[in-house]
Amino acid sequence: MQEASFFLAPIIRSKNHCAAFVERIPGVRTSTNKEETLTQLTNHHSAVAQSLGFSQIFHAEQIHGDKITAITKESPTISPGVDGLITSENTLLGIHVADCGALYLLDQKTGAIGLLHSGKKGTELNITRSAIQAMHQNFQTDPSDLVAVLAPCIRPPHYEVDFAKTIRDQAINSGIIPENFHDSGLCTASDLKRFYSYRREKGNTGRHLALIGHYSS
């Protein structure tokens, strides 16, 4: 299955967690209207969530900021005004991307997880640091216990800003051990058969879905 991407192995190897990255869905009609396109993808994305054992996905509104919220089972399905989600509950977190970076976080000690939408603006605001600080405040996470995985995103020469490198630097500067940061190394704009790219497709594109879940209560 395409969502069982090799780069997610550092998370998937944990028996109490799951992760997926849903790539381009062949045959799905896209539009410059994001909501219209997401409607076309909903059934496909829900099927992946169900295959992971979850009936509900908790999403962020994604406004290209650096705000983080802690998700509980009572949280709204879409958390307004945020680009990062963290939780220690038995929930599934989801972020939509189509060139921006989806960053997965897993606390190997406490089991807490995070999922971030880090594009050009979010990276400039250092959403990675904000999330790590929020995980420390909410779950007593020690950054040295975190595993971070960066999903496929746009990269030079297809984009003038190498925010993938910046995200890695920010993670390490925030206390993540270098060997615990894993970058897929994949560029969304270089393979349109496999990935969506907002930039290359001039907005008429779909959205990948990054997912990370926690099975323990």
Q: How many CB atoms lie within 10 A of CB 24?
A: 22
Instruction: Write out residues in the chain with pLDDT < 50, as ranges.
Output: 1-4
**pTM recorded for the entire structure:** 0.96
The pLDDT value recorded for residue 216 is: 73
d(CA 58, CA 75): 8
- Delimit the domains of the chain by residue range: 6-214
Q: Give the SS3 label for residue 42.
A: helix
87-100 as b/e, with b when 16 or more CB fall inside 10 Å?
bbbebbbbbbbbbb
d(CA 51, CA 130): 31
d(CA 35, CA 96): 11
Question: According to the CATH classification, is domain 6-214 in 3.60.140.10?
Answer: yes
The pLDDT value recorded for residue 1 is: 40
d(CA 6, CA 46): 21
